[in-house]
Amino acid sequence: MSGAVAVSQRPAANRASAEQAGLTEGLADLDGIGAVIALRRDEPLFRPGDRAEFYFKVLKGAARSCRLLADGRRHIGEFFLPGDFIGLDAAESYAFGAEAIVETTLIRYSRRKVEALAAEEPRIGQSLVEIMRTGLAAARERMLLLGHMTAMERIASFLLDLARRRDDGRISLPMTRTDIGDYLGLTMETVSRALSQLKSSGIITQHGMHELAIARPAALVELTKP
């Protein structure tokens, strides 16, 4: 009954960096037991049902967790960007699969070793709790979005989330429109129409298919509110 969790180690530019420093610090001990791996576009990290033997952390690139519904609909649980952890919420086996969206490098930790470390060193466990707490809070925000927001509100929130992950006003969209739709509970067409509308109203500008810039941040924030 589990999948993958995304937690940025520097999620929001507007949050105290002290808090984040504490987080990474607590998990620095993990570095010794991780192996670096590289994946190509669309290559899977793991499939739903696989025994959950590993945690991952994204170093470079991007990944997605997803699940197929009986009729072919696809749900994307999370996008993972550099700094995000994958697989923390897995029980025995992964409920979601995970795949690289572009060429991606990750660190792979043995879950068994992490848990052994955590049993000896409370700090590790505390850091894990903290990361999961952040992930849980993010999950709640997303439930609010999926349950109560219109298409435009969802897109605006999504773009602002991505913008917070970079320090310039730019946005990387390594994923396809279909990916975004499956993540936000919308169709590809609705995503495309919303983005077109934002472009034509001068709120965002496009620089290549996978890079946007926010021209009027305040206007975008307004759109996230009902």
Which residues of this chain interact with a copy of itself, rule CB under 8 A?
1-3, 5, 67, 69-71, 73, 75, 77, 88-91, 95-96, 115, 118-122, 125-126, 128-129, 132-144, 146-148, 182-185, 225-226
Choice between 74 and 170, CB closer to a copy of itself: 74
Q: Tell me how far, at minimum, the Cβ of 211 lies from a copy of itself, in Å.
A: 26
**Residue 117 contacts residue 45 (beta carbons within 8 Å):** no
Choice between 3 and 61, CB closer to a copy of itself: 3
Q: Tell me how far, at minimum, the Cβ of 148 lies from DNA, in Å.
A: 9
Q: Which residues bind DNA (CB under 7 A)?
A: 150-152, 176-178, 185-193, 195-196, 206, 208-209
Partner that binds at residue 168, options DNA, a copy of itself, none, CB closer than 5 to 8 Å by kind: none
Q: Distance (Å, rounded) from C-alpha 175 to C-alpha 101?
A: 6
Partner that binds at residue 43, options DNA, a copy of itself, none, CB closer than 5 to 8 Å by kind: none
Q: Distance (Å, rounded) from C-alpha 176 to C-alpha 13?
A: 26
Choice between 188 and 215, CB closer to a copy of itself: 188
The SS3 of residue 80 is strand
Rg of the chain over CA atoms, in angstroms?
Answer: 18
Handedness of CA 167, 4, 22, 30 (dihedral sign): negative
> Smallest Cα–Cα separation from 55: which of 4, 101, 102?
4
Count other C-beta atoms under 10 Å from residue 140's C-beta: 10
Partner that binds at residue 192, options a copy of itself, DNA, none, CB closer than 5 to 8 Å by kind: DNA
Partner that binds at residue 32, options DNA, a copy of itself, none, CB closer than 5 to 8 Å by kind: none
Partner that binds at residue 77, options DNA, a copy of itself, none, CB closer than 5 to 8 Å by kind: a copy of itself
Q: Tell me how far, at minimum, the Cβ of 209 lies from a copy of itself, in Å.
A: 24
The SS3 of residue 109 is strand
Tell which phi-psi region holds residue 102, choosing left (phi > 0), alpha (psi between -120 and 50) or beta.
Answer: beta
Residue 3 is given by DSSP the state -
